[in-house]
Amino acid sequence: MSKNRLGMAPRLTTEAHPVQGGISTRAIHAGQPAEPTTGAVMTPVFQTSTYAQPHPGAWPWEYSRTHNPTRSALQDCIASLEGGSYGLCFSSGMSAIDTLLRTLQPGDRVLCGDDVYGGTYRLFTKVLAPFGLQVQFVDMSDPALVVPAGTTLVWCESPTNPLLKTTDLAAVAAKAKAAGAMLVVDNTFATPVYQRPLELGATAVVHSTTKYLNGHSDVVGGVVVTNDLDLAERLAFLQNSIGAVPGPWDCFLTLRGLKTLAVRMQRHTENATAIADWLRQRPDVAQVRYPGFSGMVSFDLKGDLDAAVRFVKATRIFTLAESLGGVESLIELPAIMTHASIPADVRADIGIADGLIRLSCGIEELADLKADLERGFAAAGG
Ligand SMILES: *Cc1c(COP(=O)(O)O)cnc(C)c1O
């Protein structure tokens, strides 16, 4: 085995074990041939920091910050799901985003969606702006969006968090291209089951694999996928230089979770669709936001912050917690939890009201979930 141009390990999926077929098939097989020395069907946890070399420098596996076989399997599997050639995994979604943003230079102009994940907003405004990145926040879902010439990067989430606004990614990709900018899409909420941004013209896709891709709320991780070899090379260099890599055990758990991605997403969507329809019928709900796929539903409860707090404390199956995308249902208040790092006036401007409740609908029994939300409404009204 020899190293390829990326200085990455040989690619398992495309060179040794090509996997065609639908997304459910690739989620189970891509990047995961049987282990050659034993025939183990499941990719082992290569819990090692280093590798014995038969000859100095002749071996593709050197050191586990640079590459690790369990991580390579995960990277290749997610790349395949997103329709990309190169995947790079990180120790969190934020480190994936941070590593990607280190390809930029001071003075570069970034156009970013105005209701992106709170941590992404904080990274841009508190960490990277002081290093000279010029970030402007805009409504990406606005069809009249203008990408000014001279923009280096357009950063988009669709659906957004927590307002679940959707963006015509192909249209934004065309505008970004015309302006000479690269488009990066955070695809955490849609997953490649419902949306593959690279096919719509994005340069790169990022995920917090913590959410739907792993799906079991037991790992924090992130990934970047691209078809652009130059970008992949820079990212591989940065991944190794910065070192925010996931351990092999976390990669194993994420690979395991990924296998059921397609069936989980189907059930998340069924439950969320039914809950959104049910919420729309209720007089105590002012507005329901649901894009029609995936498991996230947000709604404005009539009443003040106290009523919303009573609601989220009363549910028992919907656990009061940050994060999303696991098999279990979660509930939270963006204004004082996930999006508290956005200043109150900015929050109000973009429509994150104090009474906005965000649900991550899990894959439990629908009737139980509705009965649980009834408890919340009863507590809020009382
Ligand atoms: C959670 C999340 C992130 C950050 O990922 P971590 O794994 O928590 O670091 C980024 N973007 C979106 C849309 C998220 O939901």
Site to probe by mutation for ligand 1, drawn from 94, 254, 358 as the one with most ligand atoms within 8 Å of Cβ, is: 94
pLDDT at 164 > cutoff 60: yes
Identify the band that residue 343 occupies on the pLDDT scale cut at 50, 70 and 90: confident
Of 211, 289, 310, 347, catalytic: 211
Residue reference for tokens 């969320």: 272
User: pLDDT tens for residues 99-128?
Assistant: 999 999 999 999 999 888 889 999 999 999
- Going edge to edge, which strands form the sheet with 204-208? 86-90, 222-226, 204-208, 182-186, 151-157, 109-113, 134-138
User: Active-site residue 230, yes or no?
Assistant: no
d(CA 132, CA 61): 37
Residues paired with residue 87 on neighbouring β-strands, in sequence order: 225
Is 3.90.1150.10 the CATH classification of the domain at 261-381?
yes
pLDDT at 218 > cutoff 90: yes
Tell me if 210 CB under 6 Å of ligand 1: yes
Rounded to two decimals, what is the model's pTM? 0.94
Residues paired with residue 285 on neighbouring β-strands, in sequence order: 301
What per-residue confidence (pLDDT) applies to 60?
84
Tell me if 161 CB under 6 Å of ligand 1: yes
d(CA 99, CA 83): 21
User: Active-site residue 186, yes or no?
Assistant: yes
User: pLDDT tens for residues 16-27?
Assistant: 456 789 999 999
What per-residue confidence (pLDDT) applies to 338?
85
Q: Are 374 and 311 in contact (CB under 8 A)?
A: no
What per-residue confidence (pLDDT) applies to 10?
46
Of 108, 114, 186, 250, catalytic: 186
Tell me if 222 CB under 6 Å of ligand 1: yes
pLDDT at 324 > cutoff 50: yes
Residue 27 Cα distances to 18, 174, 270, angstroms: 13, 29, 20
Of 117, 121, 212, 290, catalytic: 117
CATH entry, 23-258, from 2.60.40.10, 3.40.50.300, 3.40.640.10, 2.40.10.220: 3.40.640.10
What per-residue confidence (pLDDT) applies to 351?
87
Q: Which atom of ligand 1 is nearest to the CA of 324?
A: 15
What per-residue confidence (pLDDT) applies to 12?
41
Tell me if 188 CB under 6 Å of ligand 1: yes
What per-residue confidence (pLDDT) applies to 2?
38
What per-residue confidence (pLDDT) applies to 17?
54
Tell me if 303 CB under 6 Å of ligand 1: no
Neighbours of 231 (CB within 10 A): 19
Phi-psi region for residue 267, left (φ > 0), alpha (ψ -120 to 50) or beta? alpha
| Residue % of the chain over a pLDDT of 90 | 86
Q: Which atom of ligand 1 is nearest to the CA of 188?
A: 13
Q: Are 219 and 89 in contact (CB under 8 A)?
A: no
Q: Which atom of ligand 1 is nearest to the CA of 221?
A: 7
Task: Delimit the domains of the chain by residue range.
Answer: 23-258, 261-381
Q: How far is the CA of 118 from the centre of ligand 1 (A)?
A: 9
